[in-house]
C-alpha cells in the first residue's frame, strides 16, 4: 500500500519459506544464505529475521564485503525435514525519475567506464567471471546497442528491451549452473539468466555491472484476490554511474527498477548472493525442496526500525 504522508512510498511484509525434505535422516546440516533485505538509498528495513526448524545449535548474522547481510546456521539435531523461514518488513520509495533524463545517465555510455580513484569502488564489477562469460558471441549480441557516443540510459533501455523480446521466459529451463553462452543458444531462461546476460553485455564494453537479488511485488489480475505464497525470488541488474550511483533495470520485465522491487543483496554474480546453500551429512538418497514467497503490501505505520533481539533465530 502507499503511504498517505508519501504516496510514492510502499511498505511490504515478505515471507520467504524454504522446506527441504530428505528420504533419510540428516545428522548435521550447515547452511548460509542471503535472506535479509538491506538498507539502500531508497529502501529501509523495518524488521527482519530468519528462523530455522529444527532449532540450530549455532547461528549468526554477518556482512560480506559489499555490505550484504548473510545468515549462518548449524543444525546438529537429527532430522528429515528442514524449514528456513525469513520474515521482513521494508519500506521502499521510488528512485528519483530525474536520473533517467539528467546527469550521468544521459552522458555517452563510454563515460560510465570506471577509471581512476573515482571508479575504484566499481572496478570489481567490470571484471569477467571465472570461468569467463564474456566471449565473441556476447560481444556480437551487445554491440548494436552500444554505438559510440550513445547516451547510457538509451543503451540500457534498449538492452533491457532486446533481452525481453529475444528470449522466452521458461521456468525450470535452466539451473544455477547454466552459462550465459547456453542461454544465448537456447534463447530462453529465467530472471537470473537474463540478469547475467545483461551483466556480460555491459562488462564486454568495460562497464561495471552488478547482479541484484530480491523480490518483486506483483498485483493480482483485476477482480482476482491475492494468492498467498505464490510470489518468487527475483533477480535483476544494475550499471554503475559516475558519482558511485547505480541504475537498476529488469530485463525479465522490460523496465527500470522502481518501488515494487525489494533488494536483498548484490554481487558480481548469482554465486555471490544465493538465497541458501549448505552442506549436509546423511545417507539419504533423495531430497526435495519447496520454496514459498509472499510479498504482501502493508499500510505504512511510520514507525522506527523494530528488529527483534536474537532469540535463537538469526535476527538482523
**What share of the chain in percent tops pLDDT 90?**
83
What digits encode the pLDDT tens for the residues 3-37?
A: 555 667 999 999 999 999 999 999 999 999 999 99
Domain CATH code at residue 47: 2.60.40.2250
What digits encode the pLDDT tens for the residues 81-111?
A: 999 999 999 999 999 999 999 999 999 999 9
Based on the domain organization, do 125 and 227 belong to the same domain? Answer: yes
Owning domain of residue 204: 97-258
Domain presence at residue 198: yes
Based on the domain organization, do 16 and 111 belong to the same domain? Answer: no
Residue 133 to residue 182: CA distance in whole angstroms: 10
Domain presence at residue 264: no
Based on the domain organization, do 105 and 122 belong to the same domain? Answer: yes
Domain presence at residue 13: yes
291 pLDDT above the threshold of 50: yes
61 pLDDT above the threshold of 80: yes
Number of structural domains (the chain) is 2
Based on the domain organization, do 139 and 244 belong to the same domain? Answer: yes
Domain presence at residue 63: yes
pLDDT value at position 176?
86
Based on the domain organization, do 212 and 121 belong to the same domain? Answer: yes
What digits encode the pLDDT tens for the residues 186-209?
A: 999 999 999 999 999 999 999 999
What digits encode the pLDDT tens for the residues 121-160?
A: 899 999 999 999 999 999 999 999 999 999 999 999 999 9
Choice among 93-107, 170-184, 299-313 with the minimum mean pLDDT: 299-313
Based on the domain organization, do 247 and 278 belong to the same domain? Answer: no
Domain presence at residue 77: yes
172 pLDDT above the threshold of 90: no
Amino acid at each position: 500500500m502507499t503511504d498517505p504522508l508519501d504516496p510514492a512510498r510502499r511498505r511490504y511484509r515478505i515471507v520467504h519459506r524454504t522446506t527441504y525434505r530428505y528420504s533419510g535422516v540428516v545428522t548435521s546440516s550447515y547452511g548460509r544464505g542471503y535472506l535479509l533485505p538491506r538498507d539502500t538509498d531508497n529502501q529501509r528495513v523495518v524488521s527482519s529475521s530468519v528462523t530455522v526448524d529444527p532449532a540450530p545449535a549455532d547461528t549468526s548474522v554477518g556482512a560480506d564485503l559489499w555490505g550484504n547481510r548473510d545468515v549462518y546456521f548449524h543444525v546438529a539435531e537429527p532430522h528429515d525435514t528442514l524449514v528456513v523461514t525469513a520474515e521482513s518488513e521494508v519500506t521502499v520509495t521510488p528512485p528519483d525519475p530525474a536520473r533517467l533524463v539528467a546527469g550521468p545517465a544521459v552522458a555517452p555510455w563510454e563515460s560510465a567506464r570506471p577509471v581512476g580513484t573515482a571508479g575504484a569502488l566499481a572496478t570489481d564489477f567490470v571484471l569477467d567471471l571465472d570461468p569467463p562469460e564474456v566471449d565473441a558471441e556476447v560481444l556480437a549480441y551487445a554491440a548494436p546497442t552500444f554505438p559510440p557516443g550513445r547516451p547510457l540510459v538509451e543503451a540500457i533501455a534498449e538492452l533491457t528491451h532486446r533481452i525481453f523480446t529475444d528470449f522466452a521466459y521458461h521456468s525450470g529451463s535452466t539451473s544455477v549452473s547454466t552459462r550465459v553462452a547456453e542461454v544465448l543458444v537456447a534463447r530462453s531462461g529465467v530472471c537470473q539468466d537474463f540478469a547475467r546476460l545483461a551483466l556480460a553485455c555491459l562488462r564486454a564494453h568495460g562497464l561495471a555491472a552488478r547482479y541484484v537479488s530480491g523480490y518483486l511485488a506483483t498485483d493480482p489480475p483485476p477482480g482476482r484476490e491475492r494468492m498467498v505464497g505464490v510470489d518468487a525470488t527475483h533477480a535483476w541488474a544494475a550499471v554503475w554511474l559516475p558519482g558511485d550511483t547505480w541504475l537498476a533495470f529488469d530485463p525479465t520485465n522490460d523496465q527500470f527498477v522502481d518501488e515494487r522491487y525489494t533488494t536483498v543483496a548484490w554481487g558480481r554474480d548469482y554465486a555471490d548472493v544465493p538465497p541458501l546453500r549448505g552442506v549436509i551429512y546423511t545417507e539419504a538418497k533423495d531430497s526435495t525442496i519447496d520454496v514459498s514467497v509472499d510479498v504482501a503490501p502493508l499500510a505504512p505505520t511510520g514507525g522506527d526500525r523494530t528488529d527483534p533481539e536474537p532469540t535463537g533465530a538469526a535476527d538482523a
